Amino acid sequence: MSQLSDFSRAPEVPFRFRFVLIRRLPVALSLFAAISLVDAQEESATAVSRQVKEVFEHAAKAVVKIHGVDEHCEISGTGFFIDPTGTLYTAYTVGGEAGNFSIEFDGKQYPARQVLADIRSGMAILKTDVATPALPIGKSEELGVATPVVTIGYPLDLPETPNFGMVAGFDRKYLGRYFSTTHLRVNLPTQRGEAGAPLLNMKGEVVGILVSSLENNSSCYAVPIEAAEKIRGDFVRFGEARHGWIGINVSEAAAPTEGSRARMTQIMDGTPAASSGIKAGDILLQVGRKKVHEPEDVLDASFFITAGDTVPITVIRGNEKLTFNVQAETHPASQHPPLIAAPTMNQAIPLKLDSEAQRTP
């Protein structure tokens, strides 16, 4: 027993040693934590770098440099293939008003032609007759602020270049003027020549098309890929971009009704709205599948309306909720001759089977 009691007794630590141990322990723990943190940061940075590299390696082959000639000089921009038959998306500023296109692909230069250019969305579709890789189409709706994104472009006369950044916002207006649809503002550095470059999520899917830069080229705007797909869907169905139009002006109401401040101020004569039964003063709640809370919500709702389609419009009048089915007409901005280049109707882009044409919102 005496031996047991001897063993059970803890060995006495000298007071001075205990004092030193207590003093040094926090320092050692702090040091350990700092080292762990640095290691974790390095691992995180390495992981991000690896992801960006993977996206770049997978997507770079489908991104091409576009040459064209506009009325002033030769131009150079970026585009990317969206199907294996050589259809490619680019920005309107690259493929919209130029001609004599050629693309640099796989170390060679191929002729390309304009299939469609849509100034309202800011995008253009070109086509080259060669088998190509294609980028998968993603969903910009899944992005949030601070979501990391990658773009691959051809700045100046340099080779394909990856850029890494993050979504900074979803803007409907810039410098006091409203876009046709919500644009993605992305904090990643851009350079001249990168207009039309794909904006990719970290899965390598296209979620937007670079259309313009912001001040100092430190960030840029991208058209969401859904807008480009809507235009392509129109082209597949009708051979042209068909922006829809109901004929209603909307402004902000003093107080919200049923969560909406979008008050209809004018029903234009000779438009589908005039004969639909919708009245000025009605509060707009929903256009198609798009719910409306503010007048600005009308921009997205309007952009995705296709002329010829019937759009259900839900309003509240007094205490009564009403839904009108209105057949959209061609938007006034599209009533000039269609912005189609070479092919005639239905001579067009082969359908990509896994992406449906966008109809009404």
Partner 1 sequence: MDEFNENEIAKLLRLKRHEQPPPGYFENFLHEFHRRQRDELLCEPLWRILLERAQDFMLRLNVRSLTSYPAAITAVLVCAAVISLKIYQEPGTANVAALQSQPALSTAVNAEGEWTLASPVATRIFRTQPLRNLNESAHTHRAATPPRYVLDSVPVSYEPTFRF
CA distance 34 to 28: 10
- What sign results for the dihedral spanned by CA atoms 137, 140, 146, 152? positive
Bridge-partner residues for 63, per DSSP? 80
Among 107, 144, 270, 337, binds partner 1 (CB under 8 A): 107
CA distance 208 to 185: 10
Question: Using an 8 Å Cβ cutoff, are 194 and 78 in contact?
Answer: yes
Map the footprint of partner 1 across residues 201-240, applying CB under 8 A. 210-215, 217, 220-221
Q: Among residues 356, 349, 357, which one has the least CA distance to residue 84?
A: 349
Q: Give whichever of 22 and 73 is closer to partner 1, judged by the CB atom.
A: 73
The one-letter amino acid at 109: Q
Does 330 sit near partner 1 (CB under 8 A)? Answer: no
The total number of residues shown for the chain amounts to 361
User: Count of residues binding partner 1 (CB under 8 A)?
Assistant: 75
CB of 346 to partner 1, least distance (A): 8
The one-letter amino acid at 162: P
Quick one: which segment of 15-23, 42-50, 87-95, 199-207 binds partner 1 (CB under 8 A)? Answer: 87-95
CB of 109 to partner 1, least distance (A): 4
- What sign results for the dihedral spanned by CA atoms 306, 308, 312, 315? positive
CB of 277 to partner 1, least distance (A): 17
Quick one: which segment of 3-11, 29-37, 51-59, 343-351 binds partner 1 (CB under 8 A)? Answer: 343-351
DSSP state of 355: S
Q: Give whichever of 192 and 203 is closer to partner 1, judged by the CB atom.
A: 192
Does 93 sit near partner 1 (CB under 8 A)? Answer: yes
Map the footprint of partner 1 across residues 235-264, applying CB under 8 A. 244-251, 262
Quick one: which segment of 15-23, 33-41, 138-146, 183-191 binds partner 1 (CB under 8 A)? Answer: 183-191
Q: Among residues 150, 129, 134, which one has the least CA distance to residue 64?
A: 134
Binding flags for partner 1, 160-179, as an x/- string (CB under 8 A): --------------xx-xxx
